[in-house]
């Protein structure tokens, strides 16, 4: 049996920060990773470039956290976005800021981010064991026994679980940590996909595959009540819709139990009156054309027959014969284009996992379990999540660092 002061399970961003911070206090610190390399999820963030963090002032981070933001005050202020950038700079990584205040490596290579973290762990003399799959954990009342298999058991005084969520299972985030936490008496809140595309049941959805829309407004209703809306870009896929506003929307509505109703405002910058005047101008321009051939200046060609269909109008009516009432029907179809929501894509395809270990059972000032002394949690395994743009990675660094200095 190997004996350590601190053992960290999970070699992602939270585990890396926890291990380095713990090594500043303890001699024998072990970082266990089930994959053959650390930080596998870092490689796929920011489309392979690694969106390290976000450069907004740290107080603005809380506007971009959806679940349990108050729980994160101590961790985010203890180890800020500036802190992680300074750390990476120290170990040879230069960074740059792009649209939306997203921070990337200057080289656009996620592998360079990982190299900097590896230099940090090497300097801190953290012992790292790769290809180490933890089967189960036992708490003796004084310390922890971490079982890799029947023959390999690691004993430690303090234990930090930073195994990630259950999204992107190919990176090793298979939900093991939830089972460990549950076996140690912790409550796991419902796990939901977050920052995830949406599926539609409209029969035409495949016909729109690849159609990208900019400056549109996506609205989600529960019954008659508006739940959330997002303005920006989106794209149609073979199963439904994706893109920035769809992913962000999912984070706000994935906990709603009843059926959602989605509508697209295709021209949100125009009031009804201005849009009506615009339609009239187009009708004058194409005075002798049929309706389906008169909207090319206003709408993407693929959408025109669907907008007309939803308006209930005849696509072959000559525009100079269209009444004001019919124009109002067309306008309503443009401002409230109905999407038949059927569900979210699977959790395995989500960028992050909503839900996790209940924050009621974790001390936010230390990340220590309120149930078992010496047990700590960090990163996505906790029931906290934010929007895209580097916010979730920062949550991982901050909670990892706080757990590491608190052990």
pLDDT in tens, 237-285: 999 999 999 999 998 898 887 789 999 999 999 999 999 999 999 999 9
Q: What is the pLDDT of residue 254?
A: 86
User: Residues of the chain with pLDDT > 90: what percent?
Assistant: 84
Lowest-pLDDT choice from 6-15, 117-126, 146-155, 199-208: 146-155
Q: What is the pLDDT of residue 45?
A: 79
Place of tokens 């439904």: 240
- Would you give the DSSP letter of residue 318? B
Instruction: Calculate the alpha carbon distances from 246 to 233, 370, 391 in Å.
Output: 8, 36, 17
Higher pLDDT pick, 24 / 259:
24
Q: Return the bridge partners of 290, or none.
A: 318
Per-residue pLDDT tens over the stretch 92-134: 999 999 999 999 999 999 999 999 999 999 999 999 999 999 9
pLDDT at 15 over 80: yes
pLDDT at 167 over 80: no
Per-residue pLDDT tens over the stretch 67-98: 899 999 999 999 999 999 999 999 999 999 99
- What token pair was written down for 50? 């690694």
Q: Return the bridge partners of 137, or none.
A: 146
* Apex 151 CA angle, 149 and 156, nearest 5: 75
For the range 358-361, what are the long-range contacts, defined as Cβ-Cβ under 8 Å and sequence gap of 24 or more? 358/186, 358/187, 358/188, 358/189, 358/383, 359/68, 359/71, 359/383, 359/384, 360/187, 361/186, 361/187
Q: What is the pLDDT of residue 396?
A: 96
Structural domains in the chain, sorted by start: 2-191+355-406 (3.50.50.60), 197-344 (1.10.8.50)
Q: What is the mean pLDDT of the chain?
A: 93
- Would you give the DSSP letter of residue 175? S
């Amino acid at each position: 049996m190997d004996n350590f002061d601190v053992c960290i399970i999970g070699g992602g961003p939270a585990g890396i920060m926890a291990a380095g911070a713990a090594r500043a206090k303890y001699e024998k610190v072990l970082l266990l990773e089930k994959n053959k390399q650390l930080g596998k999820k870092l490689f796929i963030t920011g489309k392979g470039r690694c969106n390290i963090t976000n450069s907004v002032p740290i107080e603005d981070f809380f506007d971009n956290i959806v679940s349990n933001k108050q729980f994160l005050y101590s961790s985010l202020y203890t180890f800020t976005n500036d802190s992680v950038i300074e750390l990476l700079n120290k170990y040879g990584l230069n960074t740059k800021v792009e649209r939306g205040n997203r921070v990337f490596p200057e080289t656009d290579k996620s592998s360079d981010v990982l190299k900097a973290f590896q230099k940090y762990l090497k300097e801190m003399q953290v012992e790292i064991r790769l290809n180490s799959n933890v089967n189960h954990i036992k708490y003796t009342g004084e310390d922890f026994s971490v079982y890799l298999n029947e023959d390999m058991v690691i004993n430690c005084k303090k234990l930090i679980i930073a195994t990630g969520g259950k999204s992107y299972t190919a990176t090793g985030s298979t939900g093991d940590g939830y089972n460990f936490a549950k076996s140690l008496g912790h409550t796991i809140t419902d796990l939901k996909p977050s920052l995830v595309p949406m599926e539609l049941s409209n029969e035409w959805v495949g016909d729109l595959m690849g159609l990208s829309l900019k400056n549109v407004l996506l609205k989600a209703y529960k019954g008659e009540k508006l739940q959330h809306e997002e303005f920006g870009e989106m794209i149609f896929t073979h199963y439904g819709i994706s893109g920035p506003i769809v992913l962000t929307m999912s984070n706000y509505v994935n906990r709603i139990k009843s059926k959602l109703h989605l509508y697209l405002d295709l021209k949100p910058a125009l009031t009804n009156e201005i849009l009506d005047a615009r339609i009239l101008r187009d009708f004058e321009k194409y005075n002798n054309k049929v309706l389906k051939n008169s909207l090319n200046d206003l709408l993407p060609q693929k959408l025109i027959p669907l907008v007309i269909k939803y308006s209930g109008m005849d696509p072959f009516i000559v525009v100079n014969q269209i009444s004001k009432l019919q124009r109002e029907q067309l306008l309503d179809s443009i401002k409230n284009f109905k999407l038949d929501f059927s569900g979210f894509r699977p959790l395995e395809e989500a960028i992050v996992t909503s839900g996790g270990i209940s924050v009621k059972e974790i001390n936010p000032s230390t990340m220590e379990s309120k149930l078992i002394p010496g047990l700590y949690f960090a990163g996505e395994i906790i029931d906290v999540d934010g929007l895209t743009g580097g916010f979730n990675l920062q949550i991982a660094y901050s909670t990892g660092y706080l757990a590491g200095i608190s052990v």
